[in-house]
Chain A
Amino acid sequence: MDTNNTSRKDFLASLFTTGLVLAGCSSKKSPFELGAEEGVKATGQKVKLLSVDGEIIEVDKAFLKPVPELPSLTNSQERTGIPGKKFVMVIDLSRCKNLRKCQQACNHMHHVHSNLNWLKVYPMGEGEHTAPYWQPTTCMHCDEPPCVKVCPVDATFKRQDGIVLIDADRCIGCRFCMAACPYSIRVFNWEKPDTIPEELCGKPYSCETSMPQKVGTVGKCDFCPDMARKNELPHCVTACPNGTFFFGDLNEDSVTNGAETFRFSDLVKDKAGYQLMEDLGTKPSVYYLPPSARNFPFEKGLENETEKS
């Protein structure tokens, strides 16, 4: 059973690769013609593949080559969003102890410049007699986004599924959106990001992955719509060992942190959920559950409180 599984996976992978090879070469000569791919010598080892017509064919192994993952979505698809969805996030403040695993995962997965953070954990509650707490802050993906209102070129936009994204190929770097965002979540690539791996460098920018980040343009939390397309959770949600973040679809009225799933409306009602700076009228898609009955004392989080420098 196990071996069977592996071979099936291999088979599908090779099918994908060959498909791309064939597609890539269709405009040129056929790879099967003699001398079509100069420098490639047939190894004699054949690989069985499933052709488009459903026939099993054999191709020499030498003609198989890995093709970088191509963006499968057009810019206008990325700007439209995932049909039928309205993404929301719930952050349970009683579970956060400033571990910053969310931040690390986010920075790592998006190759964010080492000076910048898309996700920040704020120590909140400065009042004399109020209890401090840790507040993880992502982009609020507002339904009335101030950043989108002021963008002169539609480089930052609001999608049907509620997500606010940035088109770094269009951004002119005026930073008006940064001034407009009351949550200060937007960051700017003041220099070429220092953390982009080589294989990502030449790739075209995708609004859904927000990668690769480009010098002179704005970046921010994107709610990981590329993960949502794969029916997976954003990186911060899966990275948090305490299950602080819940992600889901308002239309389905459910949110999950991977381990627990709640009916969104019940969760927000029962735990008196609120939005950040509701009074500004930005209508955030992120809801906070108050830090009551906490899992950890505030002080526990101070251990991780080292400034980036």
Chain B
Amino acid sequence: MEHSNSMKLGKKTPMQPLPGNGKHGKVHLTDEQIISDLLPQKFGARGYLWIAILLVFCLVGVFAYYRQLRYGLIVTSMRDYASWGIYISNFVFFVAISLVGSLITAVLRLSGVHWATPLTRIAEIIAVAAITFAAIIIIVDMGRPERFYNLFIYGRLQSPIIWDVTVITTYFFISLLLLYIPLMPDLKIMLNGHEKKGIYKLYSFLGSFWKGTHLQFRISKKAVNILCIAIVPVAFSIHTVTSWLFATTYRPGWDSTNFGAYFISGAFLVGSGAVSVAMYVFRRYYKLENYITQEHFDKMGKIVVMLGCLYLYFNVNEYLIPAFKMKKSEEGFLNGLFIGEFAPIFWSAIFGGMIIPMIVLLFKKGRQPLPMFICGIMIVIGAWFKRYLIVTPTLLHPFLPMHNVPASYKHYFPSWEEWAIAFGSLSGALLVITIFAMLFPIIPIQETLVEQHEKELHEKAHH
């Protein structure tokens, strides 16, 4: 750390290449090389096309929401039995995926794992984007969104919704800080020698007070450490409380003491899947092969397998043990999942979103970038449908039989407005990540430099 502090990164003078460059390791990079590699790159036509596609999805979602505001929730397919639908499952999905920020940044950091450093910012921006859209989607689900402020005026501590609002807000701010604080030295690097025009005004606004002094480095390191410790219980809380939205009710399929742990293990799995996908994409389009290496994929792959095993374990607890008893109230629900109308989705999610990726990643060849990318996508899609299976089938199997309602009330298939809003929110989250990656270095420059220097010092000492 001392070394890095004396590097004077903000100075306009070019940095000296360190001695021993290129001699000892496979890849030895100069500081300039690292900086120019990691600075945000120009978006080509493909990048802009991607942004345009996401924007179109978002706009369609906004239009669908306009219709919902105008006509009420009648535009959705939710009715009195299926009173929560893909909005809520999408919310759970977002909260789940956001947990990865805490896993990669905090859990791995606190356990002294250094290889994950280049992935921290990817994980944090996924967390911030996902938690933002989780909050948005929950407002979309409300019948009276204009009364959102009632939560603050009349909020009652006994309601799990208030707990959720509290911990999600806290998590959002901690994640934002964990994204921002390590970004400050990078902003300084990016500002280096540039006139404060256009986008540099933003960089200077965000990072002008970062002077790169010894003291600032020390405070920032301490702050990040405190935040890393603080975020772990908050992260556990957000998803445990989200699971309690269901587990505090009596309904079959939700009335489970297993739910908090089941949700958290699932969240870590989908989050790592998402990071694997993001790693592949950024590596490929930003040419970051020297920074996100095969080794990263290999290690992430092992983590995914471990988390998959954990999630599988909780799934066994969650489905097979009730199935062993087949209580009358749970019978319809479980049969619906295993052999009934939800069986195709259920088994696809279990095999496609958990077991098959796990098997693939057990092999070293499976932990290559491309297979990891494909497995990551399978895990993420499987997780999205799994959330749907957690929310809706339970509601369609109430204690008293469904009765005295129009036929349309007994089934649920999302309306186009719901799909549009769900896809719009997913696109929105991707858009936030994309624009962030367009404006800021997606791999922390300062931290990479520090690690590179430490590695070199270490190697030098050995010679």
Q: Is B295 an interface residue (CB 8 A)?
A: no
A190→B408 CA distance, assembly (Å): 13
Assess the B155–A153 pair: CB atoms within 8 A. Answer: yes
Choose the segment among A4-12, A144-152, A237-245, A267-275 that binds chain B (4+ C-beta atoms closer than 8 Å): A144-152
Interface string of A127-142 (1 = CB under 8 A from B): 0000000000100000
Instruction: Flag if B84 contacts A137 (CB, 8 Å).
Output: no
Cβ of A297 < 8 Å from any Cβ of B? no
Q: Is residue B74 within 8 Å, beta carbon to beta carbon, of the partner chain?
A: yes
Q: Determine, out of B24-32, B141-149, B341-349, the stretch whose residues face the partner at the interface.
A: B141-149
B406 is an interface residue with CB less than 8 A from chain A: yes
A277 contacts partner chain B, Cβ-Cβ < 8 Å: yes
User: Are the CB atoms of B144 and A172 closer together than 8 Å?
Assistant: yes
- In the complex, how many angstroms separate the beta carbon of A122 from the nearest chain B beta carbon? 5
Residue B131 at the chain A interface, CB threshold 8 Å? no
The reply to whether the CB of A308 lies closer than 8 angstroms to some CB of chain B is yes
CB of B72 within 8 A of CB of A172, answer no
CB nearest neighbor in A for B408: A309
Contact of A137 among B73, B165, B251, B400 (CB under 8 A): B400
Q: Does A49 contact B (CB under 8 A)?
A: no
A30 close to chain B: CB less than 8 A: no
| Minimum Cβ distance to chain A for residue B416 (Å) | 16
A37 within 8 A of B: no
Q: Enumerate B149-191 residues with CB–CB distance to A below 8 Å.
A: 150-151, 153-156, 158-162, 165
* A217 at the binding interface (Cβ < 8 Å): yes
Complex contact A277–B399 (CB within 8 A): yes
**Which residues from A are CB-within-8-Å of B406?**
115, 307-309
Contacting residues, chain B, for A153 (C-beta < 8 A)? 147, 150-151, 153-156, 159
Residues of B contacting A308 with CB < 8 Å?
404-406
Instruction: Say yes or no: B148 contacts A182, CB within 8 Å.
Output: no
Between A123, A188, A217, the greatest number of chain B beta carbons within 10 A of the residue's beta carbon is seen for: A188
Shortest Cβ distance from A121 into B: residue = B404
A183 x B144 contact (CB < 8 A): no
Which secondary structure dominates chain B's binding surface? loop
A280: interface (CB < 8 Å)? yes
A contact patch SS: loop
Asked, given contacts A151-B156, A188-B143, A277-B399, whether A176 binds B161 with beta carbons under 8 Å apart, the answer is yes
- A221 sits at the interface (CB 8 A): no
Whether the pair B405, A154 counts as a contact (CB closer than 8 A) is: no
In the complex, whether A286 has a CB less than 8 A from a CB of chain B is: no
Cβ 8 A contact of B398, one of A121, A173, A184, A215: A184
CB neighbours (8 Å) of A151 from chain B are 156, 159
Flag A215-237 by CB within 8 Å of B: 1 or 0 each.
Answer: 11110000000000000000000
The contact of B143 among A122, A150, A172, by CB within 8 Å, is A172
Is B79 part of the binding interface, using a Cβ–Cβ cutoff of 8 Å? Answer: yes
Within the assembled complex, what's the spacing in Å between the Cα atoms of A217 and B73?
10
- Residue of A122, A180, A184, A216 near B144 (CB, 8 A) is A216
* Residue contact A172 to B150, C-beta cutoff 8 Å: yes
Q: Given the complex of chains A and B, what is the CA–CA distance between A221 and B141 in angstroms?
A: 24
B289 within 8 A of A: no
- Give the shortest distance, in Å, between B195 (CB) and chain A (any CB): 49
In angstroms, Cα B158 to Cα A215, docked, is 26
Q: How far is the CB of A220 from chain B (nearest CB, A)?
A: 11
B401 located at the interface, meaning its Cβ lies under 8 Å from any Cβ of chain A in the complex: yes
**Does A191 belong to the interface (CB within 8 Å)?**
yes
Q: Residue A166 at the B interface, CB < 8 A?
A: no
- The contact of A182 among B76, B78, B154, B250, by CB within 8 Å, is B250
Which residues of B are found within 8 Å of A182, using beta-carbon distances? 249-251, 398-399
Q: How far is the CA of A122 from the CA of B153 in the complex (A)?
A: 39
B399–A183 contact, CB under 8 A?
Answer: yes
How would residues 190 to 204 of chain A score, 1 for a CB under 8 Å from any chain B CB and 0 otherwise? Answer: 111000000000000
Q: With a CB–CB cut-off of 8 A, which chain B residues contact A150?
A: 159-161, 248-249
Bound-complex Cα distance A153 to B79 (A): 22
Evaluate contact between A122 and B74: CB separation under 8 angstroms: no
Q: Which of A137, A179, A191 has the most C-beta atoms of chain B within 10 angstroms of its own C-beta?
A: A179
Bound: A150/B251 CA distance, A: 14
**Complex partner residue of A152 from B71, B159, B246, B404, CB under 8 angstroms:** B159
Q: Is the CB of B143 within 8 A of A117?
A: no
* C-alpha gap A262/B153 in the complex (Å): 45
Let me know if B84 and A175 touch, CB within 8 A: yes
Distance between A1 CB and nearest chain B CB, rounded to angstroms: 48
Q: Does B200 contact A (CB under 8 A)?
A: no
Separation of A13 and B403 alpha carbons in the complex (Å): 44
* A172 surroundings in chain B (CB, below 8 A): 142-145, 147-148, 150-151
Does the CB pair A122–B401 fall under 8 Å?
Answer: yes
- Does B36 sit at the interface, judged by CB under 8 A? no
Bitwise, B209-239 to A at CB < 8 A (1) or not (0) is 0000000000000000000000000000000
Q: Once the chains bind, are B84 and A179 in contact (CB under 8 Å)?
A: yes
Decide: B144 and A217 in contact? CB cutoff 8 A: yes
Most buried by A among B81, B395, B404, B406: B404
Taking CB atoms, residues of chain A closer than 8 Å to B150 are 153, 155, 170, 172
- Contacts A117-B404, A121-B404: A152 and B155 contacting too (C-beta < 8 A)? yes
- B80 in the interface, Cβ–Cβ < 8 Å? yes
Q: Which B residue sits closest to A179, measured CB to CB? A: B249
Besides A150-B248, A173-B73, 17 new A-B residue pairs in contact (Cβ under 8 A), listed by A number: A115-B409, A117-B405, A122-B400, A153-B151, A153-B153, A173-B144, A174-B143, A174-B161, A179-B245, A182-B250, A182-B399, A183-B399, A184-B80, A188-B79, A191-B72, A216-B73, A307-B404
14 contacts between A and B (CB under 8 A): A117-B405, A150-B159, A152-B155, A152-B156, A170-B150, A172-B145, A173-B147, A175-B141, A179-B83, A188-B83, A189-B72, A190-B76, A216-B73, A217-B144
Q: Which residues of chain A have a CB within 8 Å of any CB of chain B?
A: 103, 115-117, 120-123, 137, 146, 149-155, 170-176, 178-180, 182-184, 186-192, 215-218, 277, 280, 307-309
Nearest 10 Cβ contacts at the A-B interface: A173-B143, A216-B143, A191-B74, A152-B161, A152-B159, A153-B154, A190-B74, A173-B144, A120-B404, A182-B250
